[in-house]
Amino acid sequence: MLGLALAQAPAPSQDPPEALSDALPTPPPPPVVGTAWLLMDYETGQILAGENVDERVEPASITKVMTSYVVAAEIAAGKVSPDDQVMMSENAWRKGGAMTDGSYSGFPVNQTASLLDMEKGMAVQSGNDAAIALAEHVAGSEASFAALMNAYAKRIGLTGSNFVNSHGLSEENHYSTARDLALLGRAMIRDFPEEYAHNKVKQFTVGPITQRNRNLLLWRDDSVDGIKTGHHSKAGYCLLSSAKRGDQRLIAVVMGSTGEAQRATDSLALLNWGFRFFETHKLYDAGQAITTQKLWKGQANELRLGLAEPLLVSMPRGKYQQLRPTMDVPRTLVAPIEQGQQIGTVRVALDGEVIAERPLVALDAVEEAGFFKRLWHEFLMWWNSDAD
């Protein structure tokens, strides 16, 4: 009987069954407690999901990411150095030190510390005092530093933000948006990875005081490497986070949550949802010829068109074959043409919706042809138009 039972048992499958999730519609994102939130793909900048992404919010201590960006940019420009000695002024200590209700770094008043340590005190411990001291060192005053913050914010492409201080405590006309904060995090990761790395340090010690990083996700998921928490009574609990798994990086923003644990739970749920159900593909490389078009009156008779930057697209998993690229190019192209000159547009659609759009540019410069060739092409252009 045992032999019969074994004979009737099905043979084990050699290949695991295919996952059904890639063939089904993408499920909605997890619920988020907050006034505004979003999930962004780092490579493309596409928002995969979000709510109230352009609504003005108080950024609280996420402001310090903008402060970090300015300091890193000034270091890169040679204006300041990580070895600079930064004074913890009485102004910085009184506004942001241990005697206040906010987070502090613990550097002693009227003493100096290296700019690098002061940066860590701001990034890891969220020290308001360190943020003020850095602003005074870089620009002389917080007001002057805020002007730098807004100038760099404009360069990054933040259109819904205005900064009036370096630390993020509530102040009139100090605001941002979930979209802008995600773009700020993206810029910090891209432009200054060394300074960005401060955000994954789990604890930092100043004198006898050791404080933990307030980003709970650093302990919950090894793929998370930043970015910054924020909280005060008007802003609620906020978190700008990022994680990288394999070649894919995502950025999550949760603003106005109800608690430290809630903002962390919701942020990780967003990241997990994004990694599971979305993927990013490179469609075209920079400088790759996408199309070759007829060119009139030029020393060359054809013009190669492509992109100035790589084109990457984020989409639900399993949808790659459904992408539909189209090009919009003028019917008649006439020399001279400058290299990099915009000639048309390439668009990528999924399910009838355009998800990416980039300018098509000339990959080569083409000068005008000689007089007789131009004259001949003029005749051919007239003939062709008349025939149409």
Residues marked active site are found at: 61, 64, 126
Cα–Cα separations (whole angstroms), residue 243 to 199, 218, 278? 12, 10, 14
- A 10 A CB-CB count for 246 gives 7
CA triplet 233, 40, 219: central angle to 5 degrees?
60
Backbone angles phi, psi at 276, to 5 degrees: -75, -35
The strand pairing partners of 305, in sequence order, are 291, 362
Instruction: Please give the Cα distance from 103 to 214 (Å, whole number).
Output: 10
- Residue carrying structure tokens 């955000």: 199
- Tell me which residue of 137, 113, 118 sits closest to 128, measured CA to CA: 118
Q: What is the DSSP string of 139-206?
A: HSSHHHHHHHHHHHHHHHT--S-B-S-SS----TT-BB-HHHHHHHHHHHHHH-HHHHGGGG--EEEE
- Tell me which residue of 94, 238, 91 sits closest to 176, measured CA to CA: 238
